[in-house]
Chains A and B, each alone.
Chain A
């Protein structure tokens, strides 16, 4: 158990809909990362937050957004969903000190299926 909690584990929805994925980081971790894992794209970095502020953006679509709340949990919002958004979405956390090469601890993921 990594200590990172993601909900829901599975989600099935229709095209055009909006969903919210939730992540609670490990106790004490200030950084949260979101990754997307799909068969054709592999593991793609989406976005990172540190102590409530966005710190890095990767290959995140404009239809997607995220935020980190004062209690450090994070939400990833996916809107106007398309079939190609079907994937496993991972949240990871780390202590997140700038420059510190620490490992990331991953949650079990949220599997999104868009029909």
Chain B
């Protein structure tokens, strides 16, 4: 079964510093990977996805993610963190079902706290 792991429950970073939120994956076949963000009392918002092509994927709000096949990782990054980036971040992988349809399998989430 397809799965992703987010090894850190929480990441703390000072505003203006670079941030990294880690994600590793375990898939059979080509990985289709996603990052979502959840602000308090809100739904999940799509940030970016990796399907194929460049290993560095750019997404919304200045976020990017680096796909690394040899390390089976898909870490989320931002060069300069903002206090408003504080939220819960989820990594996800597509699971292609035997019906031909897909679902997303989510990691456990990483809480990002950016201090002023």
Task: State yes or no: do A and B come from one complex.
Answer: yes
- Residues in chain A within 8 A of chain B (CB atoms): 2, 4, 31, 33, 42-43, 45, 48, 50, 55-56, 58, 90, 92, 96, 98-109
Known: A42-B109, A99-B96, A101-B51. A108 touches B101 (CB 8 A): no
Mostly helix, strand, loop or mixed at chain B's interface?
strand
Roughly how many angstroms separate A104 CA and B34 CA in the complex, as a whole number? 10
Question: Given that A43-B90, A99-B100 are contacting pairs, would A108 and B43 also be in contact in the complex, using a CB cutoff of 8 Å?
Answer: yes
**Could you tell me which B residues sit within 8 Å of A by CB distance?**
32, 34, 36, 42-46, 49, 51, 90, 94, 96-97, 99-109
Residue of A nearest to B106 (CB): A43
- A103 with B105: in contact, given A43-B90, A90-B44, A109-B43 (CB under 8 Å)? no
Q: How many pairs of A and B residues are in contact by the CB < 8 Å rule?
A: 60
Determine the distance from Cα of A90 to Cα of B41 in the docked complex, in whole angstroms. Answer: 12
Distance in angstroms between the alpha carbons of A77 and B109 in the assembled complex:
27
A103 proximity list for chain B (CB < 8 A) = 34, 46, 49
Separation of A102 and B106 alpha carbons in the complex (Å) = 15
A53 closest partner in B (C-beta):
B99
Q: Which 4 A-B pairs have the closest CB atoms?
A: A98-B100, A106-B43, A101-B32, A43-B106
